[in-house]
Structure 1
């Protein structure tokens, strides 16, 4: 899909569908009616008079030009609700539903009339370029569907070939916002494709190949450690979780040096369980198919590396992904086993289905080699986090308030929102082991917190944030610009975080 920006008007732009916005305020709706009905022979006025369109949030009207001066087949008018109540997220959602409507009408080309920014800026308080970026992201992300394995063309989404955002006056700020959106959306699509792919397509070797190919294409270094190298490093956690699988583990190391003169270096770590059966502590059959998405943290990390490199941000960034399946077999690790990790700490295995934290222990320990400015890990780690926060917020844990606040700020802006949960010392007693340094589960209570406390033992004294994306990465239904299944969450959040860091250079 091509995303572009052009100079034009509603009469000069050629497209299958043009999307236009309106507020529900009487005077603003009247202005829209007067402007559009010149080409519509009074259709919009008739709809409004009949009470069939009021400009409410996400309300749609499909209108067909009667004036030969228009080059578009149809106009899709979408409501934004009252101007005083507008938010950037409401704009995103309205743009998303209009784009989906255009797609459902088999539009191959969609044009979006850039709205009058002066009507928004006192309410939204965002720069023009980010305003444009948000519109573009909402439209493109809404059009995603994982349908590569469908052979019935009728069941596939009609492929939109082009999204063209146009304005009457050319603007470099709008152009820049759309350039950034194009890169970010491509990265989110990449993460979604990796997460939604079945486990017979994406497993440790092919996940590593995806990272290698991305690095070659976009100019960041990728090194993949195979099992003998992982054994040499003493990554006993990753090796133990892998022991039940016929597919060998991989440890993926990605490096981007966007600011060689700086000593600052951030490390992002993603859980790469390409399929999680639970191992010997086997999961129930119902819902186990969703465990192909248990590498969503890894997908987000790889895609973020790609986006940061393509945006050429002046930051130094390392991405680490421990990748393996978690399978039951005669050689699988077992409850009661004691494992020695990369940094030497030992883990008592209480439950083999709490495997994500075990492989992250090795990766977080390895991250300390870089003497990082901060470590951020993303993992579909606990069902307890979904119970606590549902599908609308990522659980955030950490040891550095400033870092947590910066991530929270990026989350509010992108609407990939995070919510802090405590990591008080009292929770340590729940994962205390009699026979090892730490136990990999803490019982029934505070499951998301005890998982985070486990991880904290492997980050040293470095600033660290853990993002539990179990709810936000694997969605049980479709939302406005998020698909059912793998959402690609974390990419937009982290890109915004690192863009903010870049602006402070």
Structure 2
């Protein structure tokens, strides 16, 4: 998509389609009033006659004649004043959902002067670009007949100025959208293609595309030498070897401590010997969406080029049953030296993450955030809206919560109190890998916390947010917006 900023009056900007908003009640944005004046009161008449109600997300597309715009798209902004961020995002999704199937190649978007609570023009412009990219996304690589691509190829954003700050905001939104698209591509790719070695090759391709990213791949022999027996216990039953993927973005000073992202990359999760039910098992290709979000965040950073250092670590493995698979009751020694009794091989994400989190300590990190489709229990607790957040540092947790709010990619913090740790007690090892049904997401986070005592750490359980099921089944690209906002919040 080609994006440009334009601070001229709307009547001086030609486009295939002009987009302005109409509230249910109250004052109009200046852009809507200007468009109405140019159209001799047409928008006012349409609202008066009930053709457009102003209800949040409602749309009306009309052809025009004798105007700089061939069409007019009106979108309702609701009754809130100022408009809430969720309502504004709904508005944008409605706009680009309508445009992507229409004939317009060039849209003039005049929505950055909407009054959105606690948000400035830069935030609005960034979100517009990001939502445009999200709505343009298609995954058609495995269809024999290619679906038609969206017609929309150019967006002009009406803005108060065409300055460096606003241009950077648009570029950042576009970059986040690109990162989300990569995350969705990786998540949607079938598991017979997307296996650990393929993921590793994709990381190498990313470093070839962006010279600011350096990639290192550790194979099973190297991981064995490091003592990553917990991670390797997950791949033991698969013919696909595990890989530890390390992507380094060095945009800050050489001695500046990096922020580290760690992603769970189970490219297919059968449950291993603790076999999952067959129904819906195809969606277990999405068990690597934590890893995919690390890829997406790294790609966004490579485009934005902030002055900071970030390390992305992906623990990639396939969890399969076979004669060589790990058995319930087996005990392994993790890279940290702590021993783990594996009571359920379907609680495998924490087994790969614990070694990756130990490995992250070698970078003397400023912070570490791991991202994982870890537990079904988080869906029971929070549904499909919020990412589950756990942390050993309240300041870090608050920063992530704030980023989630800004990025419209919200999280909710859950406790990891010491009282929950006893559920992981084992008679035969330092710990067991499950804590029973009560507080399943919390005990999973408690397990991870035992490997993160040397640094500030947070865990995002994205099992409820990383993909959707049903007719619209597919990866969502979350929580790339949250992660990128969090990382950029540290840039001075």
Residue of structure 2 in register with 1:303 after alignment: 296
1:111 pairs with 108, 111, 119, which one? Answer: 108
CA deviation after TM superposition for structure 1 residue 31, in Å: 8.8
8 Å Cα contact 2:248-2:312 kept in structure 1 = yes
CA deviation after TM superposition for structure 1 residue 30, in Å: 11
Equivalenced residues, count:
491
Change (3 A) 1:477 1:157: farther
Change (3 A) 1:19 1:357: same
Stretches of structure 1 that go unaligned for 5 or more consecutive residues are: none
Change (3 A) 1:369 1:115: closer
CA deviation after TM superposition for structure 1 residue 276, in Å: 0.6
Change (3 A) 1:429 1:230: same
Change (3 A) 1:30 1:268: closer
Question: Quick one: distance in 2 between partners of 1:261 and 1:163?
Answer: 38
Change (3 A) 1:156 1:200: farther
Question: Quick one: distance in 1 between partners of 2:314 and 2:324?
Answer: 23
CA deviation after TM superposition for structure 1 residue 333, in Å: 1.0
Question: Quick one: distance in 1 between partners of 2:12 and 2:30?
Answer: 23
Residue of structure 1 in register with 2:349 after alignment: 356
CA deviation after TM superposition for structure 1 residue 264, in Å: 2.1
Question: Quick one: distance in 1 between partners of 2:240 and 2:51?
Answer: 58
Instruction: Provide, for residues 26-69 of structure 1, a one-character-per-residue CA deviation record: whole Å limited to 9, x for no partner.
Output: 55389947833744x765455323322122211111111122x4
Question: Quick one: distance in 1 between partners of 2:474 and 2:107?
Answer: 25
2:407 pairs with 408, 414, 418, which one? Answer: 414
2:434 pairs with 411, 436, 441, which one? Answer: 441
Question: Quick one: distance in 2 between partners of 1:210 and 1:31?
Answer: 44
Change (3 A) 1:149 1:438: same
Stretches of structure 2 that go unaligned for 5 or more consecutive residues are: none
Q: Which range moved further: 139-148 or 417-426?
A: 139-148
CA deviation after TM superposition for structure 1 residue 114, in Å: 4.3
Question: Quick one: distance in 2 between partners of 1:178 and 1:127?
Answer: 13
Residue of structure 2 in register with 1:494 after alignment: 483
Residue of structure 1 in register with 2:97 after alignment: 100
2:322 matches 1:329: yes
8 Å Cα contact 2:112-2:124 kept in structure 1 = no
8 Å Cα contact 2:10-2:31 kept in structure 1 = no
2:63 matches 1:74: no
CA deviation after TM superposition for structure 1 residue 278, in Å: 0.7
Change (3 A) 1:31 1:467: closer
CA deviation after TM superposition for structure 1 residue 253, in Å: 1.1
Residue of structure 2 in register with 1:57 after alignment: 56
Q: Which range moved further: 25-34 or 81-90?
A: 25-34
Q: Output the TM-score relative to the length of structure 2.
A: 0.94
2:7 matches 1:18: no
Question: Quick one: distance in 1 between partners of 2:427 and 2:3?
Answer: 58
Q: Which range moved further: 129-138 or 293-302?
A: 129-138
SS in 2 for 1:237: helix
Instruction: Provide, for residues 178-199 of structure 1, a one-character-per-residue CA deviation record: whole Å limited to 9, x for no partner.
Output: 1111211111111111111111
SS in 2 for 1:176: helix
CA deviation after TM superposition for structure 1 residue 348, in Å: 0.7
2:154 matches 1:165: no
2:133 matches 1:140: yes
Listed as ranges, the matches of 1:26-41 within 5 Å are: 26-28=26-28, 32=32, 35-36=35-36, 38-39=38-39
Q: Which range moved further: 266-275 or 22-31?
A: 22-31
Instruction: Provide, for residues 51-89 of structure 1, a one-character-per-residue CA deviation record: whole Å limited to 9, x for no partner.
Output: 22122211111111122x42x331111111235140233
SS in 1 for 2:465: helix
CA deviation after TM superposition for structure 1 residue 489, in Å: 0.9
1:246 pairs with 239, 253, 268, which one? Answer: 239
CA deviation after TM superposition for structure 1 residue 9, in Å: 4.7
Residue of structure 2 in register with 1:379 after alignment: 372
Q: Which range moved further: 289-298 or 127-136?
A: 127-136
SS in 2 for 1:125: coil
Q: Which range moved further: 88-97 or 398-407?
A: 88-97
Instruction: Provide, for residues 366-412 of structure 1, a one-character-per-residue CA deviation record: whole Å limited to 9, x for no partner.
Output: 11112222211000000000110001111111110111111111111
1:340 pairs with 330, 333, 337, which one? Answer: 333
Change (3 A) 1:84 1:346: same
Question: Quick one: distance in 2 between partners of 1:142 and 1:263?
Answer: 37
8 Å Cα contact 2:112-2:125 kept in structure 1 = no
8 Å Cα contact 2:102-2:151 kept in structure 1 = no
8 Å Cα contact 2:20-2:31 kept in structure 1 = no
CA deviation after TM superposition for structure 1 residue 18, in Å: 2.6
Q: Output the TM-score relative to the length of structure 1.
A: 0.91
Q: Which range moved further: 303-312 or 411-420?
A: 303-312
Q: CA RMSD in A?
A: 2.2
Instruction: Provide, for residues 273-327 of structure 1, a one-character-per-residue CA deviation record: whole Å limited to 9, x for no partner.
Output: 0111111111111111111111111011122122223222222211111101101
Change (3 A) 1:141 1:280: same
Instruction: Provide, for residues 332-354 of structure 1, a one-character-per-residue CA deviation record: whole Å limited to 9, x for no partner.
Output: 11111111111111111111110
